[in-house]
Amino acid sequence: MQPRLLDRVAVVTGAASGIGAAVARRFVGEGAQVVLTDLNVEQGERLAAELGDQALFLRQDVSDPADWQALAALVRERFPRLDVLVNNAGVLIPGSIEEATLEQWHRLLRINSDSVFLGCQTAVALMKDAGGGSIINMSSIAALAARHDYLAYGASKGAVAALTRSVAVHCRRAKYRIRCNSVHPDGVMTPMTQGGYPQGMDSSLFTIDHDPMNRACLPEDVAGAVLYLASDDSRAVNGIELRVDSGQFVMSI
């Protein structure tokens, strides 16, 4: 069976750990050339070295327009085109309407939402004259179901979902052959989310052998969904909100 991303060029932000690292590994395994970006240079370079000649690392602050310009210049210089962008980088800060500060609000919107706006602009400019591509924006179940204790985080991820739909519609109307979809994980054990889990939580809930409908999600579970949206298997899928949460969202309503 031919690899699903053979000879394609992908960028994955926030790729040094967690979901981003799982996506980068999966993409390389499926034949893609992958540019990994992150602020964690040591970890990012280590992963790129582990993945070999199909991967390279670029330090990037995703909230900085100049860093997106540098990424676009790198893609133009090193590759013929950009086929896939995964806007994955983000931060998680708890806080209710009574606890959250304006500084936290601005930081979450800047890193989680502004970065996706900048990434989509960059990707559309690179993809529209090169035959199209797939943009995958990492949102969250928090964009769809309210959490009282993650006010700004939920708002930032809700903005990602709305932005995704708008980009999808724009690119279809412009006939750019660019698809844009959002992924909405929940309950994923990553370095970013570990602090939010109860102390002493049963670690077996995060093992691959545990009942997949009654366990927390793994980064690899999300990577599989992202791979689907990056590949031709989803060529007719555009503007959707793909939940990866073992059914937790539908159980809560």
pLDDT 10s digits, 150-185? 999 999 999 999 999 999 999 999 999 999 999 999
- Amino acid found at 212: P
69 φ, ψ (degrees, to nearest 5): -65, -40
The answer to whether 92 and 193 are in contact (CB under 8 A) is yes
First-residue to last-residue Cα distance in the chain: 40
pLDDT tens, 122-136? Answer: 999 999 999 999 999
Instruction: Specify the 3-state DSSP secondary structure of 10.
Output: strand
DSSP for 44-68? HHHHHHHHGGGEEEEE--TT-HHHH
Strand partners, 86: 12, 136
Round the CA-based radius of gyration of the chain to a whole number and report it: 17
Indicate the pTM of the whole model.
0.90
Distances 91 to 15, 23, 77, 170, 223 between C-alpha atoms, Å: 13, 17, 30, 28, 18
Predicted pLDDT at 187? 72
Distances (CA, A) of 116 to 15, 74, 101, 104, 143: 15, 19, 22, 18, 15
Active site residue 228: no
Evaluate whether 216 touches 207 at the Cβ level (below 8 Å): no
pLDDT of residue 192: 53
Query: Which residues, given as ranges, of the chain have pLDDT below 70?
Result: 189-216, 249-253
- C-alpha 182/C-alpha 174 separation (Å) is 20
Please tell me which residue in 150, 153, 197, 228 is annotated as part of the active site: 153
**Nearest to residue 121, comparing CAs of 47, 161, 69?**
69
Q: Are 243 and 135 in contact (CB under 8 A)?
A: no
- What are the structural domains of the chain? 9-251 (3.40.50.720)
Predicted local distance difference test score (pLDDT) of residue 215? 56
CA atoms within 13 A on the CB side of 61: 6
